[in-house]
A and B are shown apart, each in its own frame.
Chain A
Amino acid sequence: MPVFNQSRSRVIQIIFAVVFIAIVGQLINLQLFSSKYKLAADNNAFYRKVVYPDRGIIFDRKKRGILENTISYDLVVIPSEARATDTAALCNLLGIDTATYKRRMRDLIFKNTSVKPSVFEALLTPEMFARLNENMYRFPGFSLNERSVRTYPYNVGAAILGYMAEVDTSFLRRHKDEGYEMGDYFGRTGLENTYEKVLMGQRGIKRYIRDNKGRLQGAWENGDFDTAAVAGKNLYSSIDVELQELGEKLMENKVGSIVAIDPQTGGILCMVSAPTYNPNYLTGNQRKKHLTEMLYFDPRLPLLNRTLGTTYSPGSTFKTLVGVIGMAEGAIDDQMTVSCSGAYFGCGRRMGCHARGTFTLKPAISKSCNSYFAVAYRRILDNPKLPNRDSSLSLFNQYAYSFGLGRKLGVDLPSELNGNIPTPGYYQKIFGKNWQSCNIISNSIGQGEIGTTLTQLANAMAIIANKGWFYTPHLIDSIEGGDEYGLLEKFRVKHKTRDIPEFVFEEVHEGMQGTMEFGTGAYAKVPGVVVCGKTGTVENAYRGEKLKDHAFFGGFAPRDNPRIAIAVMCENAGYGATSAAPIASLLIEKYLKDSITGADRKAKVAQISNMNLIPPQMKRKMAERDSARAASSRKASRDTTEPSTEEEGRATAYMDFPDPVYPPAPGKPAPAKLLVHPLIAEDPYKRNFKRNIPA
């Protein structure tokens, strides 16, 4: 055949070549110059599973775990595999109805597809776990997954240990590079928060391959590139858990706080903020409910750490410092006497006093003579050696600051307050340039503008005990494996007050010892121990309404070689001598003698713990809340069974305060019972109710 058109063979070959070159060009573009495809493939195919290490354990000073981990179980379901499940039986076990079951399933499928495992019921109670575990064979598609949960074996220390919370977007923004992800938990308050970095450990990452429906296909490269989780470090705290338990027991039915410090080390021995709650209530599946209850519905604010999250006028306990500073400055000496006829009239208005007679410094402290310290304070301010009162007050404040007042101490807990030591500038604004010492005479007895946290007060007592030095109070003594982040360095620095001669402290010690032996604190003697103490009774008002006095006590023991400095405060409890002082004395005894011996002392523990000193205004609010709930629950459940007698008994305390706002509905039987019905919500504060701790 004649071969014509043969040149077209070339053309065809060229067309082939061009098309192939175009394809190769696109391949170069895709495979060599576009990194996004590789990234997209990794996003598609890798499932990064974060392996959570166990958080660190916190031990007390005798190596008893006060914050540990336990295993809790989640009921997990893969909806697509759960079709054969005996729905009715499962609902029966869980105590939900089938409508709830269906709704939850629908939500899970919507959120997380039907082929991926989702949590159906989180944090099962041990009983629920046992019941489900026996019956799991009936529920294909369901499984029980364990996870680590915080537990508090002693049920104490809620305020200091803190609780965990899920991270939110603002937290993630602030901690961008620390590896947190949505759904993680972090320490929201307390030591959990301060030592988050140490406690959280190091997360591990496992990489899995997953398919187009998100199902895992196995480990990537046999897990060669996975990183292992490193457990969080354990913390050794200075807390004495038995002392803490006793403190919380004594503060039952009271609003206030206790701080005890070891003056030699600055280690905090116990730190009670009342009312407290069982910390285990913020770990289980009822966490949210309890948190809301405490945050929004309890007028006593149980989540507030009253040891350093509120400031109070320290009252008469402040007189010890006025004495020390006055002596140090030479404004007073041990010979100076002041006569008191029951009140101080030096400033033209009456300042009441509890004691009559003529006092030198020592008895003035023991008997808490207001007049003496008014005179002393005025002498400090009107010091002729200094040009004016501004400089005198500044000097006084320098002393106060060196005693750790007026500024944050730097305790290893979040949300500490500064307290308040008023400055000359402040008074110039109020009283003008030529303010007089009489203008601020209330400060002399620890009232007026002076404000301290209870921890500051306890620390001041430690300084007096040490005669002029202290370590910053702290809860954590050491970290397992070393203090990697230098969190504890500031607690190793010894702070000194302004130079104050030792005899000044001896004088004050003498006076404080007198308090306990024959003075205002005589009621709170500790047998066989020389305690130095000072009571305080602080007038206060809330929104213009004068309330019952706050009770204060500050002290340390023993006088020589002191081992414990303590401050106790009960809000609106009246005389310091009747509530705060005995609480302190019991705690001192417990700490120094390791137990409370003697029948009368034990009886005292019971007596104080039963004493109900809840401030009346709070009681009123609680009653209002309860009756409002009673009204609504009355509507909701007209024919539910009557509450048990136990609840009835516990509620009697509130019966003294008939509810003025919500009178019992007419025609309803037994209003008393209806009133007590909602008090089930009091459960969180019931003591020693062990929960969630598997045997």
Chain B
Amino acid sequence: MNKKNNNIAAQGVDFTVIWLYGILVAIGILCIFMVEYRSGTDWFASFINGKTNYSKQLIFAGVCAIVATFILLTDSKLFTAFANLLYLFGILLMLATFVLGKNINGSRSWIPLGGGFNLQPAELCKIFVALALAKFLSRQEVDFTRLKSQLIAGAITLAPAALSILQHELGLALVYFSFLIAMYREGLPAQILIIASSFGVLVVATLILEPNVLAVILTVIAALLIFILRKQIKKKKRILTLIVTIWLVCVGIQRFVVPYIFNNVLECYQSTRIYSMVGKEYDCSLNKKAMEKPGNKPARKPDDYNVRQSKIAIGSGGFMGRGFLKGTQTRGKYVPEQHTDFIFTSLGEAFGFIGCFVFLAIYLFLLYRIVRLAERQRSTFSRVYAYSVVSILFFHIAVNVSMTIGLFPIVGIPLPLISYGGSSLLTFTVLIFILLRLDADRQMVLR
């Protein structure tokens, strides 16, 4: 390392990821351009003026390039050294939003920086959590098989999530659950993931099926299990108890927990969105939170306008797409928030299935590349961090794309490196380039 001081930044850096990063940012600016473009206007002039979102995004990209260069120029030890401090700083920032927060689109999660720029601490906090988690798991005294360590790791990741929920940013809060993937890699028992996903299936089933029908189905499954396992049950009474307990828990969740979550934990609009996903109406008059706010709008019909328009835009692309700048849905501004959360629709409409497929392939390639980087690390810190990065990326991509094509309820999660927005772009840039810096030093053992 010390021998080649002159070229420290380029030493051992994985250029594949940098290329992929560059391609994706370029695609992002192009997509924003498609959304903003109006025929008949002098796009070049407005581009130079810097008034449009695509020129702003280009400025953000420039800033990110500078930040990335700085990160590559730093020392990897810096990150291990400052990980906990940064985490504390992040939590403080998030708390600060409650005091300084600016209300944008109904959530007070932004801190105004002046000059028209706003900072969303919850975005930045992902980096800090990733570092903090990596720091914690790489400590030699930590044995991740122990429940205590698992709980501490969980607390580290879920603290910002809790704060996000308090800021009414459900989407950002959900992102923190993606650290489960990184933790799983580090030895979190698979049962937790299985139970979590079973819970998910049960919730969806509760939404789709009538409560009584579902109860009957669960009972039938339990009865069948008892019937099949009757010989084992004769030997071990414990199995019977287990089955009955699981059955009771399932019915309890279906009967009481799910309605409680929808009526008391989630906001009215969130419940509505989730219900409209499965094609049902949610009665907002049941919602406690909606009832508590007297000035709130009265219950209204489920609003699946966004999803419908988004599906129309993507579906109308067909196999080959309508062509660059020829998307009628995009030109007509039918898809709301198309330059941020629904940016994927402009791509889907203009370039069709082919375009989407290639685009997703680029993403998947990036994910697999990062997984490969992660596996070649010598230090746990780097590996955990890399897995955190890939988890966050994967979660963003999967949720964002799924919501635009109607596979997931709408939550405000941007598409990494593509969606318009400085905070988001900067966060992912920093995430990826810290990873590259750590990867460049993969021979070192960092703690």
Which residues of A are interface residues toward B (Cβ below 8 A)? 1, 3-6, 8-9, 11-13, 15-17, 19-20, 22-24, 26-28, 30-32, 34, 36-38, 40-42, 44-46, 209-212, 217-218, 220
B378 within 8 A of A: yes
User: Are A31 and B184 neighbours in the complex by a CB distance under 8 Å?
Assistant: no
Q: Which residues of B contact A218 (CB under 8 A)?
A: 39-40
Question: 1/0 per residue B357-396: CB within 8 Å of A?
Answer: 1001001100110010011001110010001001000100
Q: Are B332 and A4 in contact (CB under 8 A)?
A: no
The answer to whether A212 and B314 touch across the interface, beta carbons within 8 angstroms, is no
Is the beta-carbon distance between B316 and A38 smaller than 8 angstroms? Answer: yes
> Is B181 part of the binding interface, using a Cβ–Cβ cutoff of 8 Å?
yes
User: Which residues from chain A contact B184 at a C-beta distance below 8 Å?
Assistant: 8, 11-12
On whether the beta carbons of A40 and B316 are closer than 8 Å, the reply is: yes
Given A5-B185, A41-B316, A23 and B311 touching (CB < 8 A)?
A: no
The 3 closest A-B pairs by CB, nearest first: A37-B315, A41-B316, A45-B328
Q: Is B50 an interface residue, CB under 8 A from the partner?
A: no
Contacts A9-B371, A16-B367, A16-B368 given; indicate if A44 touches B312 (C-beta within 8 A).
yes
B280 at the interface (CB under 8 A from A): no
Of the candidates A1, A8, A27, A209, the one whose C-beta lies within 8 Å of that of B331 is A209
Q: Is B97 an interface residue (CB 8 A)?
A: no
Whether B39 and A31, one on each chain, are in contact in the complex, defined by CB atoms closer than 8 angstroms, is no
Using A31-B317, A41-B328, A209-B331 as known contacts, list a sample of 11 further A-B pairs with CB atoms less than 8 Å apart, ordered by residue number in A: A8-B185, A9-B371, A15-B181, A16-B367, A22-B402, A23-B402, A24-B356, A24-B360, A41-B349, A44-B309, A211-B332
Interface membership of B271, Cβ < 8 A: no
Quick check: B334 and A45 within 8 Å, CB to CB?
yes
Contact for B348 among A31, A32, A34, A38, CB less than 8 A:
A31
B407:A23 contact, CB within 8 angstroms: yes
Q: List 10 A-B contacts (CB under 8 A).
A: A3-B375, A5-B185, A5-B186, A6-B375, A15-B181, A20-B364, A26-B407, A27-B357, A27-B405, A37-B314
Partner of B311, one of A11, A12, A19, A37: A37
Is there an interface contact between B371 and A211, defined as CB atoms closer than 8 Å? no
Q: How far is the CB of B193 from chain A (nearest CB, A)?
A: 9
Inter-chain contacts of A3 with B (CB < 8 A): 375
Structural contact, A40 and B328, CB atoms closer than 8 A: no
B406 located at the interface, meaning its Cβ lies under 8 Å from any Cβ of chain A in the complex: yes
Interface members, chain B 156-197 (any A CB < 8 Å): 181, 184-187
Q: How far, in Å, is B55 (CB) from chain A's closest CB?
A: 22
A20 to B358 Cα, complex, angstroms: 12
A45 to chain B, nearest CB (A): 3
The residue in A5, A23, A210 that gathers the most chain B C-beta atoms within 10 A of its C-beta is A23
Other-chain contact of B332, A11, A30, A40, A210 (Cβ < 8 Å): A210
Grouping DSSP codes into helix (H, G, I), strand (E, B) and loop, the A interface class, with mixed when no group exceeds half, is helix
Nearest B-chain residue to A45, judged by Cβ:
B328
Kindly list chain B residues whose C-beta atoms are within 8 Å of the C-beta of A23: 360, 398, 401-402, 405, 407
Task: Determine the chain A residues whose CB is within 8 A of the CB of B333 once the complex forms.
Answer: 211-212
Q: Provide the bound-state CA to CA distance between A34 and B328, in Å.
A: 17
A13 & B353 in contact (Cβ 8 Å cutoff) = no
Q: How far is the CA of A30 from the CA of B404 in the complex (A)?
A: 11
Interfacial chain B residues near A211, Cβ < 8 Å: 331-334
Q: Which residues of B contact A209 (CB under 8 A)?
A: 328, 331-332
In angstroms, how far is the closest chain A Cβ from the Cβ of B350? 12
Minimal Cβ-Cβ distance residue in B for A1: B380
A116 to chain B, nearest CB (A): 14
Known A28-B353, A30-B315: A45·B401 in contact at CB below 8 Å: no
Q: Which of B185, B309, B331, B407 contacts A12 (CB 8 A)?
A: B185
A27 to B356, CA, bound (A): 8
Let me know if B223 is at the binding interface, CB within 8 A. Answer: no
With A8-B185, A23-B360, A31-B318 given, is the CB distance from A37 to B312 under 8 Å?
yes
Residues of B contacting A42 with CB < 8 Å? 316, 328
A475 to B339, CA, bound (A): 65
Q: Given A9-B185, A31-B317, A211-B332, does the pair A22, B352 have CB atoms closer than 8 Å?
A: no
**How many B residues, CB 8 Å from partner?**
52
B368: chain A residues at CB < 8 Å are 13, 16
Residues of A within 8 A of B445 (CB): 1
B274 at the interface (CB under 8 A from A): no
Least CB distance, A486 to chain B, in whole angstroms: 43
Total A-B contacts with CB atoms under 8 angstroms apart: 130
Q: Which of A11, A34, A45 contacts B329 (CB 8 A)?
A: A45
B148 within 8 A of A: no
B319 contacts A by Cβ under 8 Å: yes
* Contact flag A32-B40 (CB < 8 Å), given A5-B187, A44-B329, A45-B334: no
Compute how far the CA of A9 lies from the CA of B38 in the bound complex, rounded to whole angstroms: 46
Say yes or no: B371 contacts A13, CB within 8 Å.
Answer: yes
A32 to B380 Cα, complex, angstroms:
45
Alpha-carbon distance between A149 and B93 when the two chains are bound, in angstroms: 70
* Centre residue among A3, A30, A220 by max chain B CB count within 10 A: A30
Q: Identify which of B318, B367, B375 contacts A9 (C-beta below 8 A).
A: B375
Shortest beta-carbon distance from B360 to chain A in Å: 6
Q: Is the CB of B312 within 8 A of A40?
A: yes
Chain B nearest CB: distance from A597 CB in Å?
68
A6 to B374, CA, bound (A): 11
Contacts of B405 in A (CB 8 A): 23, 26-27, 30
Considering only CB atoms, which chain A residue lies closest to B379 in the complex? Answer: A1
Contact A32:B314 (CB < 8 A) given known A4-B187, A20-B360, A218-B40: no
Question: Is B313 on the interface with A (CB-CB < 8 A)?
Answer: yes
Q: Smallest Cβ distance from A86 to chain B, in angstroms?
A: 31
A500 CB, nearest partner CB in chain B, Å: 73
Set of chain B residues within 8 Å of A22, measured between Cβ atoms: 402, 407
| Contact, CB under 8 Å: A38 / B402 | no
Provide the bound-state CA to CA distance between A8 and B384, in Å.
13
Residues of B within 8 Å of A6, CB to CB, are 375
Task: Contact check, B185 vs A27: say whether CB atoms are below 8 A apart.
Answer: no
| B369 CB → nearest A CB, Å | 11
Residues of B within 8 A of A212 (CB): 332-334
Decide: B364 and A32 in contact? CB cutoff 8 A.
no
Distance A132 CA – B348 CA, assembled complex (angstroms): 49
Which of A13, A19, A210, A211 counts the most chain B CB atoms within 10 A?
A19
Q: Which residues of chain B from 312 to 351 have any CB-CB distance to chain A below 8 Å in the complex?
A: 312-319, 328-329, 331-334, 348-349
Q: How far is the CA of A217 from the CA of B326 in the complex (A)?
A: 12
CA distance A13 to B375 in the complex (A): 12
B321 to chain A: closest residue by CB: A31
* Shortest Cβ distance from B361 into A: residue: A20
CB closest residue in chain A, given B328 = A45
Q: How far is the CB of A523 from chain B (nearest CB, A)?
A: 77
Interface centre among A31, A36, A210 (most CB of B within 10 A): A31
Q: Are A41 and B313 in touch, CB under 8 angstroms? A: yes
A210's closest neighbor in chain B, by CB? B332
Inside 8 A of B387's CB, which chain A residues have their CB? Answer: 12
Using CB atoms, name the residue of chain B closest to A211: B332
Interface contact B406-A26, CB-CB below 8 Å: yes
B374 / chain A contacts, CB cutoff of 8 Å: 9
CB distance from A115 to the nearest CB of B (A): 13
